[in-house]
Amino acid sequence: MAAQWDAKNKNCLITGAAAGLGAAYVEALLKEGAKKVAVVDIDEQAGQELVAQLNETYNNSVIFVKCDVSKEPEIDHCFNIVVKEFGNIDVLINNAGIMSDLETTWRLASDVNYQGLVSFTMKAVKHMRKDEGGAGGVIVNIASTAGLTRINTFPIYSGCKAAVIHFSQNLALPPFFDDTGIRVMVLCPGATATKLVQGLAKKVVDMKNSQMMEEMFGKVHIQSVESAVITMLKLLKDGNNGSIWLSTHDRPPHELTPQINKYFDELEKLTFLN
């Protein structure tokens, strides 16, 4: 299935969109011709400022909806507001995230990084699915290279991001697309020049590892926001349902699906061996 997707006249909802990569995805989709975009974030001031700025250029095409992605009632309220304002949602990008494994924050971070993402995804599936009267659509779940590798400094964050990949790929298995007309895809950005990667040495699961984190991160190439945006647009336009994409080191977009499918094929042979 070659996607050949076009952003023109699409209605989009993006979480964690008041700043950083989320804000970059908002503007990129508007430049590509998106009809309406909902900026969803807990930071009301930053969200309203971004919307005011963008609406000067894009003819009042953007709205802000405040939402704490860790709280189910707020997710319900947010999704309903956007559907009411736009009529329908064609694109959901689950971008909201917190990178902190501290004892005081890891549960909140896990609720945002995984449970909130699942909630928005399942609401979008119900809203979009063609076999229940919807128009189909696209769901992009943001994972991380942390979900593809082993990092002893951030085991909780890494576990959530691995869960995002596994949840998304399992949801997308046949006959999901044929039934629903929805593509579910995953973007795994590496370290990118946003606030998410600032002060990480103070957010590790074990503070004895903080120096190790500083040394390790000092060797990591921090890619530009533009690189992640290029990969996002590539997967939206050309990505197949269930595909997983890597954006790291300012390299061109790279699809990981063949490698990951091969890995699971081998594991499933062992798991289901009679």
Residues annotated as part of the active site:
157
Strands (E), the chain: 11-15, 36-41, 62-66, 91-94, 137-142, 182-189, 244-247, 254-255
Residue with tokens 């896990």: 110
> How far lies 15's CA from each of 1, 42, 102, in Å?
28, 9, 23
In one letter, which amino acid is 129? R
How many residues are recorded in the chain? Answer: 274
DSSP single-letter state for residue 192? B
> How far lies 45's CA from each of 3, 5, 18, 30, 134, in Å?
37, 33, 9, 21, 33
In this structure, is the dihedral angle defined by the CA atoms of residues 162, 259, 183 and 250, taken in order, positive or negative?
positive
DSSP single-letter state for residue 209? G
Tokens of 2: 């070659």
Cα torsion through 253, 257, 259, 263, rounded to 10: 150
Q: DSSP letter string over 140-166?
A: EEE--GGGTS--TT-HHHHHHHHHHHH
